[in-house]
Structure 1
Amino acid sequence: MKFDNPEDIIQLTPEWKGERFPNGRPKVPDDILRRMRRITLEEAWSPLWHRNYDYQVETEFKSTQPDKTMVGRAVTAIFAPMRPDLHETLLKHGHEAENRKGFFNQWVIDSLQEDDVVVVDLFDKVYKGTFIGGNLATAIASRTKRGGAVIWGGIRDTQQIVNIENINVFYRGSDPTPIREVTMIGMNAPCQIGRAICLPGDIVLGTPAGVAFVPPHLAELTVVQAEKSQVRDIFGFLRLDEGRYSTAQIDSTWTLPIWQDFLSWMKQSPEAAEFRSLTWEEELEEARALEAKGPSNDARA
C-alpha cells in the first residue's frame, strides 16, 4: 500500500474536473474558499441534501474558536486501534519506503499546505487519542495560515491551542495523555467523521453549528446557492419592514413583479454590490412561466 497515493485520490474524485495538487487532491479555487467563509452550515447543507448527499454534516463537536468559521481543503487521515504486526509494518513502510519522519500524525501535518484542514478519524478515541497538542497545533497554524483540524477524537494542551488565533480545531474531547495505541491505515482516503463522510479535497466548512464536508465538484454550486439565499433574504427583510409585501408573498414562490422589483434593487442597492455577479435567468424563466399560466397560479404563488 501507499499513503497519500495520487492514483487512488484521482480515482476517488472523478467528478472534479479542475486543478489538482501534485498528489491528485482536488484544488478548489481560492475565490470559492473566500466566498464559502460567508455562508452558514444550513446554507451549505441544503444543496447537498437536495442532491442526495445526505451524510455530509456532523454537529457533535467542541471547538477551540467556537465563534469563528473555518474553511479549507480536506487532508484526511484514518486511524484504527493498534495491532502490533500491522502497526510495525505500516510505520516501517512510511519511514523506509516513503521517507516520512516521526509518528503517523506528524506525517499528516508535514504534508499540509495553505488553506488545508486536517480531517481525522480517530474512532472517537480521546484517552491516548490526542491527535495534536500545542506544538503540532502551532505547526498546523504555520502551514495552513487560516485552516485547522476536524478530529473525531481527542486533543491535548487545550489551553495552549485556544490561544492560537489563526486556526480552529473541532474535536470530541481533551485529555493530557499523548497519542498511543493507534495506527494510521489511510491518508487522503475516504474518512468517516461521526455520521458524515469526507474525501480528500472536500471543502471543510466549520461553523458554530457544526462541520460540513462539501464535495469539490459541488463547491461552487453550494456557494452560489447560499449567496442567492442570502441576498434574497436581505431584500425580503427590507421589503417586509417597509410593508410592501406580505410574509406569504416573500416566503413562497415569487411572482414576476416581485422578481422585477428585486432585480431593480440588485442594480442599485449598496447592500447588493457583492452579489451582482450572480445570474437569475433560471428563476426568471420560472416566474415568466407562472405568469403565463394566469391569475390562479399567481394567487397560489
Structure 2
Amino acid sequence: MKFDNPEDIIQLTPLWKGERFPNGRPKVPEDILRRMRDITLEEAWGPLWHHGYHFQFEGDFKITRPEQIMVGRAVTAVMVPKRPDLHDALLNYGFQDEGRKGFFNQWVIDTLVEDDVVVVDMFDKIHMGTYVGGNLSTAISTRTKRGGAVVWGGIRDNQQISEIDNINIYYRGSDPTAIADVTMVGMNTPTRIGKAICMPGDVVLGTPAGVIFIPPHLAELTVVQAEKSQVRDVFGFVRLRDNVYSTAQIDAAWDVALWEDFLNWFQNDKAAAKYQHLTWDAEVEEARSRNMEGPQSDVRL
C-alpha cells in the first residue's frame, strides 16, 4: 500500500471533472469555498440529501470556536489501534520508501496547503488519542490560513488551541496525554467520521450544529441552490411585508407573473446585488411549462 496515492484518489473520485492537486485530490475553486462560508448547514444538507447522499453530516462534537464557520478541502486520515507488526511495517515504509519524518499525524499535517481541513478517524479514542495539540494546531493554522481539523477522537492543549483565532477544530474530547498506540492505515482515503463519510477533496462545512462533508462534484450545485433559496427568501419577505402576495403564493411553485416580478426586483434592487451572478432561465422555463399544463399545487419546501 501507499500513503496519499494519486492513482487511488483519482480512482475514488471519478465524478470530479475539475482541477486537481498533484496528488490527485479534487481542488474545488476558491470562489466556491468563499461562497460556501455564507450558506447554512440546512441549505447545504438539502441538495445532498435529494441526490442520495444521506450520510454526510455529523453533529456530535465539541468545538474550539463554536461561533466561527469553517470551510475547506478535506485531507483525510484513518487511524486504528496499534498492532506491532502492522505498525512497524507502515512506519518503516513511510520513513524508508516515502521519505516521511515524525509520527503518522505529522505526515498528514506536513502536506497541508491553504484552505485545507484535516479529517481524521481516530476511532473515537481520546486517552492517548490526541491527534493535535498546541504545536500541530499552530502548524495547521500556518499552512491552511483559515482551515482546521475534524477529529473523531481527542485533542490536547485546549488552552493554547483556543488562542489560535484563524482555524476551528471539531473534536470528541480532550486529554493531557500525547498520541500513542495508534497506526495510520490510510491517508487521503475514504474516512468515517461518526455516522458520516468523508472523501479526500470533499468541501468541509463546519457550523455550530456540526460538520457536513460536501462531495466536490456537488459543491457548486450546493452553493448555487443555497444562494437561490436565500435571494428568493429576501424577495418573498419584501412582498409579504407589502401584502403583495399571500404566503401560499410565495411557498407554492411560482407562476410566470410572479417570476417576472421577481426578476424585475432581482435586476434592480440593491438587496439582490450580491446574487447577480445567478441565472434563472431554467426556473422561468419550468414555470412557462406549468402554465401550459394547467394549475399546479406543488409547494416549495
What band does the TM-score fall into relative to the shorter chain?
A: over 0.9
Which residue does 2:174 correspond to in 1?
Answer: 174
Q: How does 1:255-274 map to 2 (within 5 A)?
A: 255-274=255-274
Q: Give deviations 1:143-197, integer Å, cap 9, x for gaps.
A: 0000000111111011111110000001111111111111000000000001110
Q: Distance in 2 between matches of 1:102 and 1:293?
A: 67
Q: Once the 2 structures are TM-superposed, how far is the Cα of residue 290 of structure 1 from its aligned partner?
A: 2.0
Q: Distance in 1 between matches of 2:296 and 2:261?
A: 16
Q: Distance in 2 between matches of 1:55 and 1:113?
A: 27
Structure 2 unaligned segments of length 5 or more: list them: none
Residue 120 of structure 2 is aligned to residue 120 of structure 1: yes
Which residue does 1:24 correspond to in 2?
Answer: 24
Q: How does 1:44-123 map to 2 (within 5 A)?
A: 44-123=44-123
Question: What is the one-letter code of the residue matched to 1:36?
Answer: M
Which residue does 1:219 correspond to in 2?
Answer: 219
Q: Distance in 2 between matches of 1:80 and 1:278?
A: 45
Question: What is the one-letter code of the residue matched to 1:289?
Answer: S
With over 3 angstroms needed to count, the CA separation of the structure-2 counterparts of 1:182 and 1:232, relative to structure 1, is same
Which residue does 1:190 correspond to in 2?
Answer: 190
Which residue does 1:285 correspond to in 2?
Answer: 285
Q: Distance in 2 between matches of 1:299 and 1:34?
A: 36
Alignment length (residue pairs): 299
Q: Once the 2 structures are TM-superposed, how far is the Cα of residue 285 of structure 1 from its aligned partner?
A: 1.3
With over 3 angstroms needed to count, the CA separation of the structure-2 counterparts of 1:153 and 1:257, relative to structure 1, is same
Q: Once the 2 structures are TM-superposed, how far is the Cα of residue 96 of structure 1 from its aligned partner?
A: 1.0
Q: Give deviations 1:117-145, integer Å, cap 9, x for gaps.
A: 00000011111111000110000000000
Matched position secondary structure for 1:135: helix
Return structure 1 stretches of 4+ with deviation > 3 angstroms: 298-301
TM-score if structure 1 supplies the norm length?
A: 0.97
With over 3 angstroms needed to count, the CA separation of the structure-2 counterparts of 1:243 and 1:80, relative to structure 1, is same
Q: Distance in 2 between matches of 1:299 and 1:256?
A: 15
Q: Distance in 1 between matches of 2:284 and 2:208?
A: 34
Q: Once the 2 structures are TM-superposed, how far is the Cα of residue 113 of structure 1 from its aligned partner?
A: 0.3
Q: How does 1:30-41 map to 2 (within 5 A)?
A: 30-41=30-41
Preserved CA contact (<8 Å) 1:70 1:148: yes
Q: Once the 2 structures are TM-superposed, how far is the Cα of residue 286 of structure 1 from its aligned partner?
A: 1.6
Q: Distance in 1 between matches of 2:222 and 2:170?
A: 22
Which residue does 2:14 correspond to in 1?
Answer: 14
Q: Distance in 2 between matches of 1:209 and 1:117?
A: 17
Matched position secondary structure for 2:154: strand
Matched position secondary structure for 1:79: strand
Q: Once the 2 structures are TM-superposed, how far is the Cα of residue 292 of structure 1 from its aligned partner?
A: 2.2
Which residue does 1:148 correspond to in 2?
Answer: 148
Preserved CA contact (<8 Å) 2:253 2:297: no
Matched position secondary structure for 2:284: helix
Matched position secondary structure for 2:150: strand
With over 3 angstroms needed to count, the CA separation of the structure-2 counterparts of 1:299 and 1:224, relative to structure 1, is closer
State, as a whole percentage, how many aligned pairs show the same letter.
68
Preserved CA contact (<8 Å) 2:77 2:187: yes
Q: Once the 2 structures are TM-superposed, how far is the Cα of residue 293 of structure 1 from its aligned partner?
A: 3.2
Preserved CA contact (<8 Å) 1:255 1:298: no
Matched position secondary structure for 1:68: coil
TM-score if structure 2 supplies the norm length?
A: 0.97
With over 3 angstroms needed to count, the CA separation of the structure-2 counterparts of 1:239 and 1:142, relative to structure 1, is same
Q: Give deviations 1:185-238, integer Å, cap 9, x for gaps.
A: 000000000111011011111111211111111111111011101111111111
Preserved CA contact (<8 Å) 2:69 2:207: yes
Q: Distance in 2 between matches of 1:92 and 1:6?
A: 21
